[in-house]
Structure 1
Amino acid sequence: MLTYDFSNITGPIYRELYQKIRQDILNGTIKTGEKLPSKRTLAQNLGVSTITVENAYDQLISEGYLYSEVKRGYFVSDIKKIAVPHTILKPELNIKTNEKKSWYFDFSSNTVEAKNFPFSVWAKLSREVLSDLQSEVLQISPSNGTEALRKAIANHLLSFRGMSVDPNQIIIGAGTENLYEILIKLLGDKKTYCIENPGYIKIRRVYEINRVNYVSANLDENGISIEELKKSKADIAHISPNHHFPTGITMPVSRRYEILGWANEKKGRYIIEDDYDSEFRQNGNPIPTLQSIDAFGKVIYMNTFSKSIASTIRISYMVLPEQLANLYYETLNFYSCPVPTFEQYTLSKFIDEGYFEKHINRMRLYYRRKRITVLNILKKNLTDEECSILESDSGLHLILKLNCSIPDAELKDALVEKNININMLSEYYICPKENLRHMYLLNYSNINVEKFEQTMKVLKGIIAKKHKN
């Protein structure tokens, strides 16, 4: 007769009984073909309910350890004997998750300060969505996103960027990386993509992980080189003409028409226009997009709310030319939209009711003031002989060029020892050039001013110490 002790268990008794019988079957204590006691008999012997034994037997039957025969009882199935210890131990796993380090100061962080997120407005709109749009929220979103959000974005693009687009041209995605992968499926992985050098590292990684053939073209003072683009034999040009990252270059109108001309030279060529950071142009009006001057349906426009509202919102969108929009609905319309419907309706109200425009205007002023503060701290701690600052009219980062002889890697290691993280401009190049030495990126969107001043003193101290040595 099977006898088990249940005096020190913490979970359901049936689960413990199931595990003990299973273990006895695995280690051969209960043999293949052996008949087990009836439910009533085993229950009486163990001092438990018949239901407890029945649940344990049912679980063993469902997993194939037992089988039952009408009017005969329960028998052990013919399974391979597995050598396992009497006590099953959890193996120690060695999983490296590459968790982000918590820095004292991180020049590479481009997140938004919590104090600048419109929490009260967002909470108000969220409550309204839950109250007024209950049935809509529980409906499955179309693959391209809810009509409400697409209409709101279309209206915003018309008023802010001068772009006249049909809401059905807009595809909503969970971040730009998600949209890049959709585009690879839409345009085909047999195409050759040309990316900017230097450029946003994630673009390169997305193409690599999807085994897409990509090449690069260097930049001149006006943006991507047309000569190099032509030499690349690419079908798709992936560029950021309005504010290039990391150089900050804004492509002039003459170069924009040149690249549109390149796209029109051959059937199947397209331009992916990533409108990165364009909302925060510091001087003058926003530069017209390539999409707004494209007369032949060659431009795929992309933008995100991650920078303008918060990096964790994870809502991006792209505007497809008519031909590609039709192809999307023919071939990829079965995909589910990865953005929760509730968040789409909340964002659509945020745009429609004017809160987004107010937020952008407020943040533009805030970042303009912060930029001045950052520049003043830089000039206070580093002289013109020690550094120069390369800045553009748009974006939320600066390029700091240090006039010192310390090798870049050595300086970066010295900062890491002080728990300070900084990215070198050369890290964004596929093949770094010698003249990029001592050039560093300073993102200031999330800079703590007090910590920044202390960090600059640390940097100055490192430079002085290295010079002495």
Structure 2
Amino acid sequence: MDLLFLTLDKYDDKPLYEQLYLNLKQAIIQKNIAVGTKLPSKRTLSDFLNISQTTVELAYGQLLAEGYIMSKPRIGYFVEEIDELPYVEKVAAPTVAQIDAPRSYQYDFSPNKIDEEGFPFQIWRKYAKDIFDESSKNLLQAGHPQGELALRLEIARYLYESRGIQCSPEQIVIGSGTEQLLPMILRLFDEDAKIALENPGYSAIPKAHIQSRAIPISVDVDGIVVDELEKSEAHLVYITPSHQFPTGAVLSATRRTQLLKWAAQMPARYIIEDDYDSEFRYIGKPIPALLGLDQGERVIYMSTFSKSIMPSLRVAYLVLPLSLLPKYKEVFSYYSATVPRFDQHLLANFMSDGHFSKHLNRMRKIYRKKHDKLISVFSKYYPEVIISGDSAGMHILLSIPHHRSEKELQACAVQSGLYIQPITRYMLTPLSYQHPTFILGFGGIPLDKIETSIHALMQAFYETNSTL
């Protein structure tokens, strides 16, 4: 065997064994060394290249591990036959400049933003430090598929005290968001079961899951129009009754009763109640949860800590009726909780020591001040603007009397470094509004910037010199 093709550079950054391995590998792939050829012994090759036998042994070992050569005990190493791989031309990896980066805005009116300054970092840091300790090493193992018992106990206690809901930890399932939990709920029912959705409305159900199953139901000032629902073929309905998203409507007492009666009329009918921001209400008394009124076990309740603590925590939960538990355990016998156990226990400890309640009280005051400031600025400077859905939550609905279209106004806002979502983004089927209508979230805008941000937005909307 001719060894002259083997060249090593002792000044190269690559280790000598790696250079030797790559040389031999390339020769085998290109058929420069025939299949079945015996490779030189470690001593022979080390003498020829003036390198140690250990270097040769490492190179041969790598070739052996990857299947390029085979070893015959007390005889030597022989070249193996390898399948030819199709040649694929490499595409240069995108540089940082080529990768899309999220655009930054001077003011972001997204409805999913929260106040960052009010978060209790020191307290949270303490609980995080305590949980990431050798005393918690058992949390390295897989936990309960429905979530940690400690957290489910705290959620059950919180729901009873704040929402009048009586449930056991056995009924609670922890998940990493409503986007994950909603498709799980759908799997508990027939694949062709129709689901009614508020229109406009938010749905974390992927469109692929509901394309042929969704039935849009109108929403008015009293919430979802149950009369429409009763005429539909739906067996499931997904609603946000305490603060309808995005209109802000509150489901009236009459419609709550009507909706529960609708569910009770047939055994396969269920209501999915998303109570995502019930903690923040500014006008009137807290709205009771549908689940708290349900006597027939027809309400599947779900909520999240995205608004009450932070969106990045990725902890949501659902409360299943006892009648659905056997089906759930059958369908999801393989399921593993998608929220890390450490995060679950951190949150459970934060709740059990009373810090969650204190944090909520503090954030209610902060958001109320922002809400009141927002309403005051619009009332004082822009009375022509129509505001609705302002009784709760962290956003309002803004209707702008204007000769320009919603699309044009949004382009003006973006051009001025402002982000705001149009209501059309949340429509299942087209709806007509008298004026361009937007969802204005105020949770992420600092209190001292509320007035400035509104002036900037309205200037962008009404500036006659704006170009599109």
Q: How high is the TM-score relative to the length of structure 2?
A: 0.91
Among all aligned residue pairs of Structure 1 and Structure 2, give the percentage whose two residues are the same amino acid: 36
Q: CA separation of 1:43/1:454 partners in 2, compared to 1, >3 Å: closer, same or farther?
A: farther
1:126-145 alignment runs, 5 A limit = 126-130=128-132, 133-145=135-147
The one-letter amino acid paired with 1:228 is E
1:46 corresponds in structure 2 to 49
More deviation, 180-189/141-150: 180-189
> Matched residues in 1 for 2:134 and 2:36: separation?
63
2:107 alignment counterpart: 105
**1:193 aligned residue (192, 195, 204):** 195
Task: Report the TM-score when normalising by structure 1.
Answer: 0.91
How far apart are residue 209 of structure 1 and its match? 4.9
CA distance in 1, matches of 2:443, 2:45: 68
Relative to structure 1, is the Cα distance of residues 466 and 318 closer, same or farther in structure 2, using a 3 angstrom cutoff? same
1:62-77 map, 5 Å: 62-77=65-80
Instruction: Confirm whether residue 241 of structure 1 aligns to residue 244 of structure 2.
Output: no
5+ long unaligned stretches in structure 2: none
For the 8 Å contact 1:189–1:212, the answer to whether it is kept is no
| Aligned equivalent of 1:61, options 61, 64, 67 | 64
Q: Call closer, same or farther: CA 1:134–1:462 in 2, change over 3 Å.
A: closer
Pairing partner for 2:36 from 33, 36, 42: 33
Residue equivalent to 2:297: 297
Distance (whole Å) between structure 1 residues aligned to residue 196 and residue 254 of structure 2: 20
Cα root mean square deviation, aligned: 2.6
1:48 to 1:180, Cα distance in 2 relative to 1, 3 A: farther
Cα offset, 1:359, TM superposition = 0.7
- Compared with structure 1, are the counterparts of its residues 290 and 80 closer, same or farther at alpha carbon in structure 2 (3 Å cutoff)? same
Residues in 1 aligned to 2:207 and 2:189: alpha-carbon distance in whole angstroms: 13
Structure 1 residue 117, shift from structure 2 partner: 1.5
What SS is found at the alignment partner of 2:371?
A: helix
> What residue is the counterpart of 1:281 in the other structure?
281
Alignment map for 1:113-128 (pairs within 5 Å)? 113-128=115-130
* Aligned counterparts of 2:70 and 2:350: Cα–Cα separation in 1: 60
**Distance verdict in 2 for CA 1:131–1:79, change over 3 Å:** closer
Q: What is the SS of the residue equivalent to 2:259?
A: helix
Measured after TM superposition, the shift of residue 222 of structure 1 is 1.5
Aligned match of 1:413: 411
Aligned counterparts, 1:32-431, within 5 A? 32-81=35-84, 90-93=90-93, 99-108=101-110, 110-130=112-132, 133-203=135-205, 206-209=206-209, 213-380=213-380, 382-385=381-384, 387-431=385-429
- How has the CA–CA distance of structure 1 residues 3 and 132 changed in structure 2, closer, same or farther, with 3 Å as cutoff? closer
- State the SS of the aligned residue for 1:250: coil
Q: Is the 8 A contact 1:189 1:211 kept in 2?
A: no
1:401, 1:440 within 8 Å by CA — same for their partners in 2? yes
Is 1:447 the counterpart of 2:445? The answer is: yes
- Give the CA deviation at 1:462: 3.7
Q: Which residue of 2 aligns with 1:435?
A: 433
Moved more, 12-21 or 251-260: 12-21
Distance 1:309 1:468 in 2: 38
- Do the aligned residues in 2 keep the contact of 1:186 with 1:332 (CA within 8 Å)? no
Q: CA deviation at 1:15?
A: 3.3
Cα gap change, 1:294/1:201 in structure 2, threshold over 3 Å: closer, same or farther? closer
Which structure carries more helix by proportion? Answer: 1
Q: Give, in whole Å, the separation in 1 of the partners of 2:254 and 2:86.
A: 74
In 2, the alpha carbon distance for the partners of 1:456 and 1:373 equals 10
CA contact (8 A) 2:402 2:435 kept: no
d(CA) in 2 for partners of 1:236, 1:210: 12
Post-superposition Cα deviations, 1:316-363, rounded to whole Å, max 9, x if no partner, equal 100000011222223313211111111111111111111111111110
1:466 is aligned, of 458, 464, 467, to 464
Query: 2:143 and 2:329 mapped to 1: Cα distance?
Result: 15
**Alignment partners' CA distance in 1, 2:137 and 2:93:** 45
Q: Distance in 2 between matches of 1:99 and 1:436?
A: 36
| SS, match of residue 195 in structure 1 | strand
Q: What's the secondary structure of 1:110's corresponding residue?
A: coil
Equivalent residues, number: 462
Distance 1:350 1:465, change over 3 A: closer
Q: CA deviation at 1:12?
A: 4.1
